[in-house]
Amino acid sequence: MRRADRLLKIVHFLRSRRRAVTAQTIAEQFEICTRTVYRDIQDLMTSGAPIIGEAGVGYMIDKDYFLPPVTFDVDEIEALGLGISMVRHWTDDGFAQKALSALDKIQAVLPAALQGQLEQITTYSAPNLAPLPWQVSFSDLRDCMRRRRKIAICYSDGTGKESQRQLRPLAVIFCSPVWLLVAWCETREGFRHFRLDRIAKLDILEAGFADEPDKNLAAYKAQDGIPVA
């Protein structure tokens, strides 16, 4: 990997992490030695990247920091186009508009040689011809995840039995044609999945929740045999 590419990837790596990342973690991620990490971090800071931290403690970057425009190869453009198509056809109007906005921004920064590639994409997502009706807002739910706001729902299981749940929403997973909400259920004290089409009512609560190690998304991903609500 070229050093310039590695520096760019290190910035992306830091932006994707919520907590400070040690030099050892960065070294393992990019298969380099910690001395190289220290040098790369120093060069990034010198170039203006808002990285805070120090050797032996860890590094974080201001999440408001945006990288200058980057270019994509043909397959990357194809993958981005497919992702945008899926968002448009399988989420809600608000998120679909964000996908179109992202497409406009991508097209604006592409070099002239690649401008036509977006018009020649050959991989698509078809519209959902038999959509499962939702009574909850996909965008509001995502906002609760970002802001770590608890929610209360009225949920019906596969037999039609209703229950009231108080949740910490963590993620949504697309299992065509179903969207699943992944949450820590405070009512059942464990991770659960909830089909969006079976949530009859959703209330956003004033209470927030902390990123507790045993109840967060990382813990969910690490756990096997997740029970389904």
Here the CATH number for the domain that contains residue 23 is: 1.10.10.10
CA angle at 102 for the pair 96 and 107, rounded to the nearest 5°: 130
Residue that wins the pLDDT comparison between 112 and 157: 157
Residues 151 and 178 in one domain: yes
- Residue 126 resides in a domain: no
pLDDT (0 to 100) of residue 21? 92
Residues 106 and 45 in one domain: no
Contact present, 228 and 155 (Cβ < 8 Å): no
Residues 145 and 218 in one domain: yes
Residues 84 and 33 in one domain: no
pLDDT (0 to 100) of residue 67? 54
Counting the structural domains of the chain, the total is 3
- Average pLDDT rounded to a whole number, residues 16-43: 90
pLDDT (0 to 100) of residue 108? 65
Residues 217 and 171 in one domain: yes
pLDDT tens readout for residues 136-151: 888 899 999 999 999 9
Residues 165 and 218 in one domain: yes
13 pLDDT above the threshold of 90 = no
- The contacts of residue 216 (CB under 8 Å, 6+ apart) are 170, 184
26 pLDDT above the threshold of 90 = yes
Q: Could you list the residue range(s) of the whole structural domain that residue 207 is in?
A: 138-222
- Residue 184 resides in a domain: yes
pLDDT tens readout for residues 62-117: 877 665 556 677 778 788 888 888 888 888 888 888 888 887 777 766 666 666 66
Residues 155 and 208 in one domain: yes
Computed over every residue of the chain, the mean pLDDT equals: 84
